[in-house]
């Protein structure tokens, strides 16, 4: 990966990527007609908050860490903030926590523990990650394979030149993340009419369980069958993030940021945009219930 960058004053070196660590920003807009989806941080408010804590633009690129475990060093003194799924942090031998500004000495090693609740944490470094943008974004799209590849031990990421002051507040109260059933508000449609009324009722009354094959492309949900009223084959059509696509015999899929731009199965409902950050924190085995609103 690039080690020199005109806008860069410092570098971050990945020592251990943990399960999955990706560079993410606000995503890629305006390319869906060519088959390129939006991508971007799954829990966007968490990304924005981490950036604000270190005085970055809200959409500066951060590292999205799935289930903790990231270890990195910085070659120059800097500040980082970690938000999203709360987890213990160690800087050298000192214990720190998420949702506060952490000063890192030159050469300091930052180790992220594992979250007890939630799934994705966001590491903002003052100045932002300056990985090479692709089509206007530094986000890694796992479906389209655009943007920086998933981080690996030894990767070196340029850090941008800090702009603007560090905010006066250096700690925030983390939003609660539940480990019980998550309630997600949905709007029915665009193709709720392709399902029997019982299917809509089953959607709104049942508990679905997040399965282990969930990822940024889609969160897969085990639950009751959702019987169709119209059995025609749907011609592929555009789908949005948050769409609940129901294949005839498969699991309900809740489309995440790296979802395909088109889908060939009817979408029974769409999770409201304000609830998508919660979706980004769902863990396998967790229960999900859908409510109208």
Partner 1 sequence: MIQLAEELITRRCGDTGLLVELGDNRRVHAFAAAVRAADLDGVVDLVPALDTLLLVVDPALTDPPAVEGLLRDLEVGAVARAENRRVEIPVRYDGEDLSWVAEHCGLDERQVVRRHTATPWQVGFCGFAPGYAYLVGGDPALRVPRRKESRVAVPAGSVAIAGQFSAVYPRRSPGGWQLLGHTEVSLWDTEADPPALLLPGDEVVFCEVAS
For binding to partner 1 (CB under 8 A), which residues are involved? 29-36, 38, 134-135, 144, 146, 186-187, 189-191, 235-243, 260-262, 267, 269-273
Shortest approach of partner 1 to residue 116 CB, angstroms?
31
Sheet containing 89-91: order of strands: 94-96, 89-91, 109-112, 71-74, 8-16, 156-160
Shortest approach of partner 1 to residue 74 CB, angstroms?
29
Nearer to partner 1, 132 or 181 (CB): 132
Nearer to partner 1, 41 or 146 (CB): 146
Shortest approach of partner 1 to residue 127 CB, angstroms?
25
| DSSP code of residue 6 | T
**How far is it, in rounded angstroms, from Cα 54 to Cα 24?**
16
Shortest approach of partner 1 to residue 108 CB, angstroms?
35
**How far is it, in rounded angstroms, from Cα 177 to Cα 250?**
28
**How far is it, in rounded angstroms, from Cα 137 to Cα 131?**
9
Q: What angle do CA 185, 191, 195 make, to 5 degrees?
A: 95
Burial of 29 (0-12, 13-18, 19+ CB in 10 A): middle
DSSP string, 202-259: HHHHS-EEE-TT--SSEEEEE-----BS--SPPPPEE--TTEEE--SSS-EEEE-TT-
Q: What angle do CA 34, 39, 45 make, to 5 degrees?
A: 145
**How far is it, in rounded angstroms, from Cα 69 to Cα 287?**
24
Shortest approach of partner 1 to residue 48 CB, angstroms?
12
Nearer to partner 1, 4 or 235 (CB): 235
Shortest approach of partner 1 to residue 92 CB, angstroms?
39
Nearer to partner 1, 26 or 86 (CB): 26
Nearer to partner 1, 3 or 236 (CB): 236
Nearer to partner 1, 159 or 261 (CB): 261
Nearer to partner 1, 1 or 32 (CB): 32
Nearer to partner 1, 20 or 271 (CB): 271
Shortest approach of partner 1 to residue 197 CB, angstroms?
18
- Of 65, 119, 63, 72, whose CA–CA distance to 92 is shortest? 72
Burial of 168 (0-12, 13-18, 19+ CB in 10 A): exposed
Shortest approach of partner 1 to residue 12 CB, angstroms?
24
């Amino acid at each position: 990966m690039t080690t020199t960058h005109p806008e860069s004053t410092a570098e971050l070196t990945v020592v251990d990527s943990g399960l999955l660590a990706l560079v993410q920003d606000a995503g890629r807009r305006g390319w869906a007609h060519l088959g390129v989806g939006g991508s971007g941080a799954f829990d966007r408010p968490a990304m924005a908050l981490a950036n604000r804590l270190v005085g970055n633009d809200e959409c500066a690129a951060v590292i999205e860490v799935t289930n903790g475990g990231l270890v990195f060093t910085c070659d120059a003194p800097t500040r980082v903030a970690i938000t999203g799924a709360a987890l213990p942090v160690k800087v050298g031998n000192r214990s720190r926590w998420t949702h506060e500004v952490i000063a890192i000495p030159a050469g300091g090693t930052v180790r992220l523990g594992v979250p007890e609740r939630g799934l994705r944490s966001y590491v903002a470094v003052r100045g932002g990650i300056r990985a090479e943008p692709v089509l206007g974004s530094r986000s890694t799209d796992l479906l389209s394979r655009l943007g920086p590849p998933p981080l690996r031990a030894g990767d070196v990421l340029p850090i941008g030149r800090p702009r603007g002051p560090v905010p006066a507040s250096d700690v925030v109260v983390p939003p609660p993340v539940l480990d019980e059933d998550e309630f997600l508000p949905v709007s029915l449609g665009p193709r709720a009419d392709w399902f029997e009324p019982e299917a809509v009722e089953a959607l709104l009354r049942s508990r679905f369980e997040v399965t282990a094959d969930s990822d940024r492309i889609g969160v897969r949900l085990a639950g009751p069958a959702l019987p169709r009223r119209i059995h025609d084959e749907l011609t592929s059509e555009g789908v949005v993030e948050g769409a609940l696509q129901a294949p005839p015999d498969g699991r309900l899929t809740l489309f995440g940021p790296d979802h395909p731009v088109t889908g060939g199965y009817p979408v029974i409902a769409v999770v409201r945009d304000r609830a998508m950050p919660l979706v980004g924190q769902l863990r396998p085995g967790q229960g999900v219930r859908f409510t109208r609103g």
